[in-house]
Structure 1
Amino acid sequence: MTKLIIEGGRPLRGSFTASGNKNAALPMLAASLLTSEPVTLHNVPAIRDVQVMMNLLEAYGVAIERAGSSVTLTAASLSSRIPDPELFSKVRASILVAGPLAARTGKAELHPPGGDVIGRRRIDTHIEGLARLGYRFSRDTKIRFSRKGPARGTSMLLDEASVTATENILMAATLAEGETVIYNAACEPHVQNLGELLLAMGAEISGLGTNRITVRGVRELHGAELAIGPDYVEVGSYMAAAFATGGRVRFKGLAGRPELDVIGKACTKLGATWKKIGQDLVVDGTRPREIVDDVGQAIPKLDDGIWPSFPSDLMSVAIVLATQCRGSMLFHEKLFESRMVFVDRLIEMGARIVQCDPHRVLVQGPCQLQGIAMSSPDIRAGIALLIAALCAEGTSVIHSAEVIDRGYERIDQQLAMLGAAIHREG
C-alpha cells in the first residue's frame, strides 16, 4: 500500500493536458473481443484499472502491444480458460467482457466483478438485456451466458439507464441477426466514444448520444483505429483543485468540448468560471468565489443524475470546492447511497457540513481546512480528499493512494508539476 503526503496551502499554477477517458477506454478495450483483426486505440490512460482490464483480456488470449499511449489488441485466438477471479475483483468494468465474448463465441464465462463499493451496483440490467438477445444466464461461483441458436435483435426498454449495461448490450447487438432498439439507453460521452469505435469496426448504429439507440447486426466486424476522448471527470477534478487552491491553470485543447458545459454550469453556481483562450480553457481561482443564491435567496442546490445531468463522479470534488466558496449549498447525490461517506473526513478537517441523510449534505463556506491522516475509500472520494489536502493548512497523509491511481494518471507527478507540495511513499 502506498500513501501520499501533502503540504497544503499552495495554489496550483501551470498548464494541464487531459488523459484519455477511463470510462471510454475500458469498454473500448473490451470491444477488441468482437473481431480477430487488430484494434488500435490512441490516448489510452496509464492507470491501474486500464492495466487490470488489459491483463484480463490477455488472460482470455488477446495479444496486446503498447507504444506510449497507444495500444493494439488482437483477439485472433481466444482461450477457453476462465481468468483468475482476482482479475475480475479488481475492476467493476470486468463485466464488460460478457457482451463481446458472448457475441463472438456464443458464450461467456466470468467471475463476479469488483471495483468501488459506493452503493448497490446491479448487473440485472446486463442480464435482462442479453437475455432479450437470446442469451441464457446461469450463476454459481461464476457468471455464464450462452445461446443455442443465433442471437436475434429485438426491442428492449432498460429498467435503468445503466452505462455499462448499455455498452454490453450495444456490443452484443452488433453481431446479432436483425435490428435491436435499446430504449432508455445511457448517452454519456464515453458510450458515444465506444459507439464511434464500433462504427469504425463496421457496425451499423444510429442514435448515439440519445436515449434510443438502434443497432443493425452485421455478419462480422473488422479491425479499426480510434483515439479515446479526453476524460472530463479528470478535467473537472483538476479544475476544482485549481479553483479551490486559488490557482490559475490552463487546460490545453479543451475549448469547445460540449461535455464540459455540464461542469461549467455547476462551476457557475459556485461562483467559479473559466475563459476560452484559443483552443484552451483557463481556470482562474485567484478571484473571490461566492456561491450564487437561487431566486428569492433560496439555498442553491446541486444534484447529480444520468447524462446530461451533473456527473455523480464529480459530486465529491464539488463538495470540497464548496468548502472554499462563500455561501451555502445543498448537494443531493441521487445515484449512489454511499457516495457521501467521505464527508466525515472533511468535517474532521474543519469543514462546516451538515449531513442531512445518506444522500444529501449542506455545505457552508469558506472554511480553513486542517491537514489530517486519512484513507481513500474509493477513486472519487480519494481525489476529493486529495483536493481538500491541497487546500488545508499543514500536512495531510492519504493512505491507500493506489485507489486514486485506478482513475488518475500519475496524480502526484501531475500535481507536483502544477506546484503542489506532494510526494509518494511505499
Structure 2
Amino acid sequence: MINAFEIRGGKPLKGEIVPQGAKNEALQILSAVLLTPEKVTISNIPDIKDVNKLIELLGDLGVEINRLSKDTYEFSAKNINLEFFQSQTFKAKGGSLRGSIMIVGPLLARFGKAAIPKPGGDKIGRRRLDTHFLGFEKLGAKFVYNPDTNFFNVDATQLEGTYILLDEASVTGTANIVMAAVLAKGTTTIYNAACEPYLQQLCKMLNRMGAKISGIGSNLLTIEGVESLGGTTHKMLPDMIEIGSFIGLAAMTGSEITIKDVCYKELGIIPSVFARLGIKMELRGDDLFIPAQESYEIDTFIDGSILTVADAPWPGFTPDLLSIVLVVATQAKGSVLIHQKMFESRLFFVDKLIDMGAQIILCDPHRATVIGLDKKYQLKGIEMTSPDIRAGVSLLIAALSASGKSIIHNIEQIERGYQDIDTRLKALGADIRRL
C-alpha cells in the first residue's frame, strides 16, 4: 500500500485554522506524569504518532490512562512495572521513538533506576544524547552500556543536587535533568539551561505539583529537591512550528488565513522573522490574521547586505522553522542566506525544490542561498519523498503553491508531527488527497 499525498497546487486558500498542541512540549509534559502516583490531567495534547507512541509506552509501563476527550487525558502512575524495561517490547517501542529518552529523568528521580535502548528518530544528522547522560551522571547516576542488547542501564539509588553547566542548551536535555533533579537531595543549579516556552511550561507544571524551581525563563535554573510531588492539571501551548508553517503557507499560496489562539506572547522572534521576509500579519485578539498578498519582498540588513536567517537557542529562531523560511523565500522578491547551524543534513531536501524550479544554491550542509522568484515563475509539481518532519511540511507547502500535480511519499514523517494535516488543509480549500 502506498502512503502518499497527491496535491494539485496553485490555488489560493481561505479560512481559519486552529494549531494543534505543541509536539515538543507534549513529550516532556507526558513524561512528567511518572513523577507522582497522583492523578495528572493534561489537555490540548496533539493526536500525532510520536505523542501517541509515548502515551502507549506509558501504558505499557503501568500508568493508568483515561482518555477524557480527543485532546485531554488523565494519567495515574501509581503502579509502575520496572521489569518492563528488560522486555523486547520496550526495546522495540523505545528504540523507535526518540522521545522515549524523556522518561529516564522522572524514573531515576522516583525509582532510582531506568533503562533505555539506543534511540532512533529523525534523519537530520547527529543528535547527541550526551547532554542528558552527563547531567544524570553529575547528579550521581551510573550508566552501564550493554553492546549485546544495545541497552543503557542506569542506576541512581541516591541522586544528589549539584552544579551543572550544560555543554549545549539542549531543550530535551534540560527538561530531563530538571525532572531528575526535582526529587534529588539538596539543590541543583543548571547553567546554560534551555529556556524555550515549552521548558518554562514544564517547570511551571512541576512547581504546581510541589517542586521548587526558580529562574524559569532564564538560562540559570535553581532546583531545590523535594520529598515528593502531587497531581495537577496542565494545558499545553499551541505548536509554534505549526503556526510558523501556516504563516509560510499563506504567503506562498497568496491566501487569506486566520490562525486561531496562537498564544502570541510565547512565539518570541518567529513573527518578526517572517515579517522580514515581507509577510504582512495582524494580531486580532490572540488570532493571527495573514492577508492575501500578491508578492512579498525580503528585507536587507541596514547596510544593504543580503539578509541572513540563522537558527539559535531560544530566544533565537528555532531550527524547526528554517526549512519553512527557505521554502517561503523561493517565491519572495529578493535573496536570503539560510544558515542551519544546529543540525547537519537538514537542508538536503533543497534538491526537490530545485527540481520544482526554485533557485537555490546549496553552499554546504549548513548554508543555502535562495534567490526569490517573486512569484513570476511558479514552482511546478513533481513526485518526491519526505526526508523528515519539517522538510516534509516544507515540501507540502511548496506543492500547494506549485502548478500541476505533486505526489509526496513517506508522509508518515509528516504525520509524526502534524495531526490530520490533510483534513485541516482541505477545510481551507486545498486540493489534497491521500493515496
Common fold: TM-score over 0.5: yes
Aligned to 1:343: 350
Aligned to 1:144: 153
Aligned to 1:134: 140
1:4-403 residue pairs with structure 2 within 5 A? Answer: 4-66=5-67, 67-79=69-81, 80-82=83-85, 83-140=89-146, 141-148=150-157, 150-254=158-262, 257-366=264-373, 367-403=377-413
Are the aligned partners of 2:193 and 2:219 in contact in 1 as well (CA < 8 Å)?
A: yes
CA shift at 1:98, angstroms? 0.7
C-alpha distance in 2, partners of 1:261/1:248?
23
Are the aligned partners of 1:29 and 1:54 in contact in 2 as well (CA < 8 Å)?
A: yes
Are the aligned partners of 1:10 and 1:245 in contact in 2 as well (CA < 8 Å)?
A: yes
C-alpha distance in 1, partners of 2:400/2:293?
15
SS in 2 for 1:78: coil
C-alpha distance in 2, partners of 1:35/1:416?
41
With 367-376 and 382-391 compared, the bigger mean Cα shift is at 367-376
CA shift at 1:295, angstroms? 2.2
Q: Which amino acid aligns with 2:153?
A: R
CA shift at 1:411, angstroms? 0.4
* Aligned residue-pair number: 423
C-alpha distance in 2, partners of 1:261/1:134?
35
C-alpha distance in 2, partners of 1:111/1:372?
38
Q: Which amino acid aligns with 2:6?
A: I
SS in 2 for 1:84: helix
Q: Which amino acid aligns with 1:49?
A: D
SS in 1 for 2:338: strand
C-alpha distance in 2, partners of 1:90/1:242?
34
C-alpha distance in 1, partners of 2:243/2:109?
34
CA shift at 1:17, angstroms? 1.2
CA shift at 1:378, angstroms? 0.5
Q: What residue ranges of structure 1 are gaps of 5+ in the alignment? A: none
| 1:51-96 C-alpha deviation (Å, 9 max, x unpaired) | 0111111111111111221011111111122243221233211100
Q: Which amino acid aligns with 1:303?
A: A
Q: What residue ranges of structure 2 are gaps of 5+ in the alignment? A: none
Are the aligned partners of 1:52 and 1:90 in contact in 2 as well (CA < 8 Å)?
A: no
C-alpha distance in 2, partners of 1:134/1:380?
36
C-alpha distance in 1, partners of 2:303/2:313?
28
1:410 correspondence with 2:416? no
With 178-187 and 263-272 compared, the bigger mean Cα shift is at 263-272
SS in 1 for 2:303: helix
| 1:315-374 C-alpha deviation (Å, 9 max, x unpaired) | 001100001101111000000011101001000111000011110000011242110111
SS in 2 for 1:296: coil
| 1:189-213 C-alpha deviation (Å, 9 max, x unpaired) | 1111111211121111111111001
| 1:77-128 C-alpha deviation (Å, 9 max, x unpaired) | 1112224322123321110011001111110012121111211111111111
Are the aligned partners of 2:84 and 2:90 in contact in 1 as well (CA < 8 Å)?
A: no
CA shift at 1:298, angstroms? 1.0
Are the aligned partners of 1:264 and 1:273 in contact in 2 as well (CA < 8 Å)?
A: no
SS in 2 for 1:258: helix
C-alpha distance in 2, partners of 1:245/1:23?
27
Q: Which amino acid aligns with 2:258?
A: R
C-alpha distance in 1, partners of 2:269/2:285?
20
1:422 correspondence with 2:425? no
| 1:295-318 C-alpha deviation (Å, 9 max, x unpaired) | 232111101111111110000011
Are the aligned partners of 1:32 and 1:39 in contact in 2 as well (CA < 8 Å)?
A: yes
C-alpha distance in 2, partners of 1:81/1:25?
23
Are the aligned partners of 2:165 and 2:192 in contact in 1 as well (CA < 8 Å)?
A: yes
Identity of aligned residues (%): 46
